[in-house]
Structures are given as C-alpha cells and as structure tokens.
Structure 1
Amino acid sequence: MSKIMTILEERVAPAVNKIGGQRHLRAVRNGIISMLPLTIVGSFFVIFLNVPIPGYDELIAPIKASLDIPFRYTVGIMSIYVSFGIAHQLAKSYNLDELTSGFLAVAGFLISSVVPTQVSKGVEGVIAAGRWMPIAKLSASSLFGAILASIISVEIYRFFKEKDIVIKMPDGVPPAVSNSFAALFPAVAIILLFWTIRHLLGFDISEALSTLLAPLKGILAGNSLLGGLLTVFLILFFWVLGIHGPAILGPVIRPIWDATIAENMDAFTAGASAHALPNIFTEQFLQWFLWIGGSGMTLPLVFLFLISKSRFLKDLGKLSLLPGIFNINEPVIFGAPIVMNPILAIPFIIVPIICTIISYILTRVGMIPMMMAKLPFTVPAPIGALISTNWSVMACILVFVNFFIGLVIYYPFFKMYEKQLLEQEAAAKSTEEA
C-alpha cells in the first residue's frame, strides 16, 4: 500500500496539479464560483415561494409574482454573469484590462446566444408589437456557450494587444479612456465573429455544445448512479493525493452541477413536485447527504477523535469540531492527516460511496425528494437537507442515518490509526523520560 501511495504522490499528483492549474480551467472555475452569492440569494427566494405552511400560498398570493423576480434575475440569467466572471479571471491571468474583457465577453455571448424575436401583434399588458429578447436563453442552458464565448473573446483581445493592433492615445489620457480605445478593434472582431456565426450562418453555439455535452451530463450528473459514483470517487481520490478535489473537477463538473440544480429550481417553480424533478445528482445531493462535515464525510471521524485515547487525536477533534459542523474539514484532512494516509484514506473513500448508493436508492423509490434550492455549503447538513428538499423530514433523517453509517465504517480504521499513534506517543514519552 505504501508503494502505491508513493507512486501516486510522485507521478499522479504533479500531473493532476498541472491540469488543475491550467489557465483556462482555472478561469472557468473561479468565474463560476464568483457568482455564488447571486445563486444563493436566488435559491432563498425559491424557498420563500414554497414554504410548506397551510395558508402560506394564499398569504403571499398578492406578491407571488414579485417574489419570483430575484430568482429570474439571478439564476434565471446566470450565463451573463458567468461570461463576465470567466473573462475577468482569464484577463487577470494575462494582465489584460479585466473590465474591458468582461464587457467584450458578455457582448460576444449575447450575440451568439439570443436572437431577438419579431412580434407583429402584441399581447395587451405584456408586449407591444416590436422585437423582444427571450431571457430563457440566458439561463443555465447556455452555460457552456458562455464559457466558450468568454474564452474566445479574451483570446481575441489578447491577440490584438500582443500584435499591437490597437488605437493608441497620447500620453496623459486617463487609463480608462485609453483602454476603451485600445479595445475598439478587438470589439469589432469579436462582434463580427459571433454575429456571423449566429445570425448569418444560423449556428447556435450554446445549443450545439449542450447537445455535444449532453452524454457527459447524463454520466456525471443527472440520474446515473454510475456517473454519480464516478464523480464522488474522483473528488475523494484527489483529496487523498492532497489536491482539492472539487477544485480539480470544477471546470468540468461545476457547469453541469449548476445546470442540473437550475433545471430542478426551474421545474419546481413551475409547479413540479420535489419528488419529480429532472436531476438527482446535483452538487447539493453530494453536499447534504455525502459531505457531512466536508468531503469524505469526516464529521463522524471528528466525533471519534473526541473520545480517542491519543492526546493528538483528541486535541485535533476539539479543534476540528466547530469547523466540521459547518462542513469545513481541512483541519482533519491535512491534520490527521487523511492525505497520503492509507489507513484513513480507505474509509474516507468508502463511506461516501456507500452513502451515495443508499441515498440514490431512497430517492429513486420516492422516499427522499430531490434538491430544489442552492444553499451555502456552510449550512449544517441536517438543516441544508431539510430546506433543500422542500422541508422534507425524511431527508433530514437520512443525514443522521448516513452519519451513523460513517461512524460504523470509520471506527475500525480509527482504532487502527489510534493504536499506531498511542505507540508513537508512548515511545516519545519514554524517550523524554530517559
């Protein structure tokens, strides 16, 4: 086992770190994460619209349409925010003007995604005759198009800057004005490119990418148990190597996760039951049923540390308890450590995989609803599961069941590791006394 861990540390970890640090993947990851506050706020308004209290619907009926607006202008048009965020991050890595890059990316994305619709006969109280822009194309369904448009826009901007094909202003002109004129030629190129592709050639980049990546979505997210297990395993595997698993998989899986939870939220706000939503494997499924205390479900391990005879583990348990309740487990992963530690790495991977299977089956048979809201990851798991499944008590109970399963599986490995540490502590004490 130690030989395998050495191979992983020396050969696999450097390659994975290099991939995770790739400029464009990093920009995608950070750009999507940057809009997290908006998605969280939008999710709360979905919850406000669906509080399971008798008479609540009648109470909010006069303002129900207004309560839906924050969701529509956050999650409902998330691709606009993502395109700006990714371009900002990528431009920053190139030392380009971030604000200009963001604007160019948004323009490219909008032109490539939305075709204004001509209305010859208006609807009274809704729209007069003229042209209107459907915002449905700006939701999570166009997320991959937003990613591609942002990367292409920044790369075009960088090309013009590096080749010095820019309008230069005299010295003394304010930087904001100078940067605006320097972006004029890139702006023309970006707008013409996306306008030609979408409006002259009739090619919808977002739709083509969504169709192309649909099988991947079906594998890594959605309703495939095999894909869900693969995602969970990869995240945990990277953590064991000492690499932030979600950060590595983020550029690939996060757009899919954001799309799946957005689909669930859309379906739920449209009147679908929480038991009949499109996707089981959302990020929230992992967060509340599997990452209890953080990736690897380490909160049960922290509780075991608290009763340990090893002074080191007991102290570590005390330090890790409060962060663990709020799903922050770096103190355990790097403190115990779990990283490159075969004894603790085994249950660290096994526990979430077993709980994935159990949680999936219970969701499939209809005992547990699917996720319909996106809450901050720091919400304690029972509360997060309760709220995110439209106040399902069964989902809250499942969190405690999974916690108990984690406790049982972690225990023998904990005792094995505790025995090693007790021997080391005893040897250290003998040396000290000598």
Structure 2
Amino acid sequence: MEAALERFGEKLLPFANAIGNQRHMQAIRNGLIAILPLTIVGSFFVIFLNLPIPGYTEWIAPYREILDVPFRFTVGIMALYASFTIGSFLGKSYGLDDITSGFLASLGFLLLVMPVNITEGITSAGVEITGRYIPITPLSAQGLFSAILASVIAVEIFHLMKKYKLEIRMPEGVPPVVTSSFSALLPTLVIILVFWIPRHILNFDVNGALTWLISPLQVFLTGDNLFGGILTVLLICVFWVLGIHGPAVLGPIVRPFWDQAIAQNSEAFQAGMSAFQLPNIFTEQFLQWYLWIGGAGTTLALVIMFMFSKSKYLRQLGRLSFLPGLFNINEPIIFGAPIVMNPILAVPFIVTPIINLFIAYFFTIMDWVPRMVAKAPFTVPAPIGAMMSSNWNVMSFFLVLICFAVSWVIYWPFFRIFERRNLENEAAVEAEAEATKAEVNDAATA
C-alpha cells in the first residue's frame, strides 16, 4: 500500500506543483493572505458589538453606528484591498513595480463599480448631501471575484505594454520614481478604456455576470451542501498525505469562496439575523475549529498519544509537536512521524476530519450550535476559537471537545500499530548497536 501511495503521489505531484506554483494562483493566494490582518481585526468588532451579556445590546445601541465603522472599512471593503495586494504580487512576479501594479489593479476594479447619483438631498449629521458616491457593497466580499479578475487583467495589460515597450520613456538622470510614473501613463489610459467602456458605456455589469456564473460553485462549496464540504476536506487531506501542501494547492480556488462566505455571515449577523440562520455553514472557520483541531487531519489527539508513547522517538516528537499543535500548526507531526506516504496514519488522518464534519454538520442543522459569524486567528486553541467565531456560544466549546474525543477514538488503534512498528525498529537498532559494540570489544581483546 505504501508503494502504491508513493507512485500515486509521484504522478500527482507535477500537477499539484503546477497549480500551486502558477503565477496567477500564487498572486491570488498571497494577495488574500496579505489582507488577513484587516479581516481578522475587523471581525473582532463584530464580536465586540455582539457580546452575549444581558443588557449589553441596549447599552451599546447609541454607539453602534460609530463602532461599526472599523468593520465596514476592513471586512466591508475587503475586495478593494484585495485588488491592490493581488495586483501588487502579480506585478512583482513579472518584475514590474509592485506599487504601480497594485494601483492599476485597484483602478481597474473601481472602474467596474457604478457610482450612485443622489439628486435629492439626504440629511446626514445636519448636512444635506447630493452628488455621486461609490456604494460600499460592491467593494465588499460580494465584489471579490471582480477584484481578482480586474487585478489579473490590469497587470497583464501593464506587463504586455512594458514587454513591447509601449510606454513613455524619460531621459537618463531622471529620478527612478519619476521614470516609473511616466512609464505607467499609457498603461493607465489603456486600463481605463478597457474597464470603463464595457461598464459605463455598454452598461455591462461584470460583477453581476461573475456572481451569476460562480453562484452554483459558491453554494456547493460554502453554503450548506454536505457533499461540497466533504469534497473540500477530502482533497486537502489527501494532498497532505501525498506530501503536498493541501491549502497551498486548493487555497487560490477555495479561499475566495471562504472569504465571501464568512463576510456574508458577518454582514447578515450585523444586520440582525440570528447566528443560527446565517446563509453559510461551510466557512473556513467551521473547518478550522471543528475539523482542524491541532491542524489538518485533527492531529492534536495523535500528538498527545505520541507524548506518552513507549517509543523514544515518538515520545520526543510528541513533546516537540505539542505546543505548535495546540496552536493548530502540525507540520512537525505530518513530516516528523511521518504521516506523509504512511499508510498506517494516512487512514485516520483522512477519515477523522470527515467523521467530525458529519458530527459538526448535524449539530449545526439541528441548531445546537450557531454558524460562524467572524474570523479569529487560526493560531487560537480550537475551543476558544470556536467560541469567538460563533458569537461566544458555549455549545461550540463543547462540540470541539466532542470532536477531539472522536478523533482520539479513531486514531488510537492506528497509533498502537504504528507504535508497535517503531518499538520493533528501535529494538532492532539497539540490538544491532549492541552487536557492533560487542564485536569491537572482542576485536580489542584479541
């Protein structure tokens, strides 16, 4: 079985590497990761605004609109930030100026937004407002795929014009900042025309078209479709078993859907919807807190078993892996045990999170636990992270403990088999060392 796994991994590795190392996929992945500080901190304001304390809602009501501002200017316009970071990373991969690339990507994205024209005055803070305004909704998670598309197109235009020297050149001796600015003049004009004409002249709603095209896939992966959740988890775990970083390969494909899903939940929750009725079950946080306890494969239970193993190697590895595992970092155990290409540990590594997915899904649809409303840092220990992300619901804490107990039961027989094999290997090594030592002593005596 181990040889079959190895052959399968060798065949799949080039394909996985091609996806993971593809220029545009890398830019999307890195760009979305770059805005994590904004989305995580913004999510904390959702938690802060909805603390489950008697009388808290009434007490905070006069300040709610003010305290909601950080959320609106972080998670609420995440697509705008993403357009800049994705464009910046993609431009850098081509050797272009990353700041200029980011600006051009954001420009392209903003040109896809139709301003709202307010002709009749609206009073705000005692001031009558009229004029043209950019609505915030298209800049939120709703416009994330438009941001990705606009970033890629804008930077590709910049790259091609740079490659074929379609730019204004400045004489030598001009400061690099000035040279860079003038070289972007013609690309800026082309990018404006490319995005402005379809949206504002032809009135083609790119964001609406994209939303319609991807809506079936979004519902499949992040709504409440059980099969979609199983497929995502299965692929991530199988990639890890084959020695391929699962999230790195699938991240550029799945993460935009995850980001949209948690943002939709946060916005609906902010609007007053019950945390039990939010639109998306399978957010990244659902997987993070109920399935990835200790990291992908729910490996914290295995780490603790290793800590008290009779095998010297497993015991030492378990102790070294415990602290990272507690904070959901499990590369030490995945590559140290190893779980990679290991038919004994691969089975529970794949099966455990899928069983826990069924359990957590059942608890969710039965309204025993709420759906996830906010992001929390992935390094928070799982029971606390689950409470933070689910509006401080205590049952979420206990559900993590239940999933941990289930993972312990599943891993235990496989751990015992693996431990026995390691003990036999260690005994064989010690016997060989003793035999070698005896031969040396005999030779010395002779």
1:44 aligned partner: 44
1:360 aligned partner: 361
How far off is 1:132 after superposition? 1.7
1:115 aligned partner: 114
2:82 aligned with 1:82, yes or no? yes
Could you tell me which amino acid in structure 1 is paired with residue 72 of structure 2? R
2:348 aligned partner: 347
How far off is 1:218 after superposition? 1.4
2:321 aligned partner: 320
Deviates more, 1:116-125 or 1:258-267: 116-125
2:442 aligned partner: none
2:6 aligned partner: 6
Could you tell me which amino acid in structure 1 is paired with residue 328 of structure 2? N
Could you tell me which amino acid in structure 2 is paired with residue 57 of structure 1? T
Could you tell me which amino acid in structure 2 is paired with residue 73 of structure 1? F
2:283 aligned with 1:287, yes or no? no
Deviates more, 1:178-187 or 1:123-132: 123-132
Task: Work out the CA distance in 1 between the residues paired with 2:247 and 2:200.
Answer: 37
1:274 aligned partner: 275
How far off is 1:90 after superposition? 0.5
Task: Work out the CA distance in 1 between the residues paired with 2:54 and 2:152.
Answer: 49
Task: Work out the CA distance in 1 between the residues paired with 2:129 and 2:64.
Answer: 24
2:169 aligned partner: 168
Task: Work out the CA distance in 2 between the residues paired with 1:362 and 1:254.
Answer: 24
2:213 aligned partner: 212
Could you tell me which amino acid in structure 2 is paired with residue 61 of structure 1? A
Task: Work out the CA distance in 1 between the residues paired with 2:275 and 2:124.
Answer: 32
Task: Work out the CA distance in 1 between the residues paired with 2:57 and 2:369.
Answer: 23
How far off is 1:383 after superposition? 0.2
How far off is 1:6 after superposition? 2.1
Could you tell me which amino acid in structure 2 is paired with residue 320 of structure 1? S
Task: Work out the CA distance in 1 between the residues paired with 2:14 and 2:414.
Answer: 28
Task: Work out the CA distance in 2 between the residues paired with 1:359 and 1:267.
Answer: 22
Task: Work out the CA distance in 2 between the residues paired with 1:310 and 1:205.
Answer: 60
Q: Is the 8 A contact 2:6 2:242 kept in 1?
A: no
How far off is 1:242 after superposition? 1.0
TM normalised by structure 1 equals: 0.98
1:263 aligned partner: 264
Give the SS at the match of 1:123: strand
Task: Work out the CA distance in 2 between the residues paired with 1:319 and 1:362.
Answer: 34
How far off is 1:9 after superposition? 2.3
2:230 aligned partner: 229
Task: Work out the CA distance in 1 between the residues paired with 2:249 and 2:385.
Answer: 24
Give the SS at the match of 2:120: coil
Task: Work out the CA distance in 2 between the residues paired with 1:144 and 1:4.
Answer: 39
How far off is 1:296 after superposition? 0.5
Give the SS at the match of 1:414: helix
2:439 aligned partner: none
Q: Which structure 1 residue ranges, 4+ long, deviate > 3 Å from structure 2?
A: none
How far off is 1:352 after superposition? 0.1
Q: Is the 8 A contact 2:75 2:140 kept in 1?
A: yes
How far off is 1:59 after superposition? 2.7
Give the SS at the match of 2:117: strand
Which segments of 5 or more consecutive residues in structure 1 lack a partner in the other structure?
none
Give the SS at the match of 1:122: strand
Task: Work out the CA distance in 2 between the residues paired with 1:333 and 1:3.
Answer: 18
How far off is 1:10 after superposition? 1.6
How far off is 1:62 after superposition? 3.0
Deviates more, 1:328-337 or 1:118-127: 118-127
2:381 aligned with 1:387, yes or no? no
2:379 aligned partner: 378
Task: Work out the CA distance in 2 between the residues paired with 1:403 and 1:221.
Answer: 23
Task: Work out the CA distance in 1 between the residues paired with 2:29 and 2:366.
Answer: 34
Deviates more, 1:422-431 or 1:128-137: 128-137
Task: Work out the CA distance in 1 between the residues paired with 2:6 and 2:355.
Answer: 27
Task: Work out the CA distance in 1 between the residues paired with 2:262 and 2:403.
Answer: 22
Could you tell me which amino acid in structure 2 is paired with residue 233 of structure 1? L
1:329 aligned partner: 330
Task: Work out the CA distance in 2 between the residues paired with 1:61 and 1:208.
Answer: 38
Task: Work out the CA distance in 1 between the residues paired with 2:313 and 2:323.
Answer: 17
Identity percentage over the alignment?
Answer: 58
How far off is 1:129 after superposition? 2.2
2:69 aligned partner: 69
Give the SS at the match of 1:322: helix
Deviations 1:226-258 (A, max 9, x none): 000000000101111111111111111000000
How far off is 1:420 after superposition? 0.7
2:96 aligned partner: 96
2:397 aligned with 1:396, yes or no? yes
TM normalised by structure 2 equals: 0.96
Task: Work out the CA distance in 2 between the residues paired with 1:342 and 1:398.
Answer: 29
Task: Work out the CA distance in 1 between the residues paired with 2:378 and 2:296.
Answer: 11
Give the SS at the match of 1:404: helix
Give the SS at the match of 2:123: coil
Task: Work out the CA distance in 2 between the residues paired with 1:70 and 1:8.
Answer: 48
Which segments of 5 or more consecutive residues in structure 2 lack a partner in the other structure?
436-446
How far off is 1:183 after superposition? 0.4
How far off is 1:222 after superposition? 1.1
Task: Work out the CA distance in 2 between the residues paired with 1:19 and 1:190.
Answer: 27
Give the SS at the match of 1:81: helix
Task: Work out the CA distance in 1 between the residues paired with 2:415 and 2:399.
Answer: 23
Task: Work out the CA distance in 1 between the residues paired with 2:281 and 2:93.
Answer: 36
2:106 aligned with 1:106, yes or no? yes
How far off is 1:117 after superposition? 1.6
Task: Work out the CA distance in 2 between the residues paired with 1:15 and 1:116.
Answer: 43
How far off is 1:61 after superposition? 2.6
Task: Work out the CA distance in 1 between the residues paired with 2:24 and 2:159.
Answer: 13
2:130 aligned partner: 129
How far off is 1:146 after superposition? 0.3
Give the SS at the match of 1:128: strand
